[in-house]
Structure 1
Amino acid sequence: MIQLFRIALAAAWLRLLIVTVHAGQTLGWDKAGDFFFGDMAHPWRAQFNTDFFCMLLLIAMWMVWHAKSRLLGVLFAVLSIMGGCLFTFAYLLVQSFRTKGNTAAVLLGRHYSARGDSQ
C-alpha cells in the first residue's frame, strides 16, 4: 500500500509542477497572489480559496507538531503554506522513505515510538 501512496504522491507532484511552471511562464511568476486574492470577489472562488487556505494552515500546524524541532517545524510550515502541495507532497514522499514506509511514523513524526506508546 505504501508503494501506491508514493506513486500517487509522485504523480500528483509532477502534474502540479507542470501546471505551476505553465502558469508561471504564461501569466508571470509575480501574479499568483493577484489571482488568489483577486478571485475572492467571486463567491465560489472565494469559498474554494478559503477552504484551500484553511487546509494549508492545518497542514502547517501539523508540520510544527510533527517535526523533530519546533524551529524546523516552523520552517516546514512556512514552506508548506508558500509552496502548497509542491512542498508538502515532496515532504511526505521523503518521510515515507525516511521511515521505511511506516505510516504511523510518517504521521506521528517525533511523537512516534517503536514500542507503540506515542506522547
Structure 2
Amino acid sequence: MAIILVSLLGYTAITISNYGWNLLPIFFGDMRAMTWPGQFNFDFMGFLLLSGLWVSWRHRFSATGLILGAVAVFGGMMFLSLYLFIASTQAKGDVNELLLGKSRLCD
C-alpha cells in the first residue's frame, strides 16, 4: 500500500505540474467523446463509486462513513491505499473485520 501511495503521489504531482488541476473537464470530456480513454474513465468511475459505497457501508452509513465514502470517490487510490493500510493494521490480520468493519462482526 505504501508503494502504491508514494508512486501515485509522485505521478499525480508531475501530472498537476504539466496540466494543472483541471481534471474533471478532461475526465468527462473523454467519456463524452466515446473514445477508449472515455471507456476507461467510465469503468474507473464505477470502481470509484463502488469503493465509496463499500467504505460507507463498512461504517454503517453513519455521518463519518458517508464522509469517508465521498472521500473514497474523489480521492481514489490515494485515499483507499491509506484507508486499507490503516484498516488492515487495526484488524490485526482478521480478514472478516477488514472487509466488514468491527461493528458488523457481532451481527
Tell whether the structures are fold-level matches, with TM greater than 0.5: yes
Deviation of the 1:53 alpha carbon:
0.5
**Per-residue deviation, residues 87-109 of structure 1 (Å, max 9, x unmatched):** 11100000011111222111010
Which residue of structure 2 lines up, in the alignment, with residue 5 of structure 1?
A: none
Identify unmatched segments of 5+ residues in structure 1: 1-8, 114-118
Q: Does 1:72 align with 2:74?
A: no
Any runs of at least 4 consecutive aligned residues in structure 1 with deviations exceeding 6 A, and if so which? none
TM-score after normalising by structure 1: 0.81
Which residue of structure 1 lines up, in the alignment, with residue 26 of structure 2?
A: 35
Note the aligned Cα RMSD (angstroms). Answer: 1.5
Which residue of structure 1 lines up, in the alignment, with residue 84 of structure 2?
A: 92
Which residue of structure 1 lines up, in the alignment, with residue 105 of structure 2?
A: 112
Identify unmatched segments of 5+ residues in structure 2: none
Deviation of the 1:68 alpha carbon:
5.7
TM-score after normalising by structure 2: 0.89
Which residue of structure 2 lines up, in the alignment, with residue 116 of structure 1?
A: none
Deviation of the 1:47 alpha carbon:
1.2
Aligned-residue identity in percent: 33
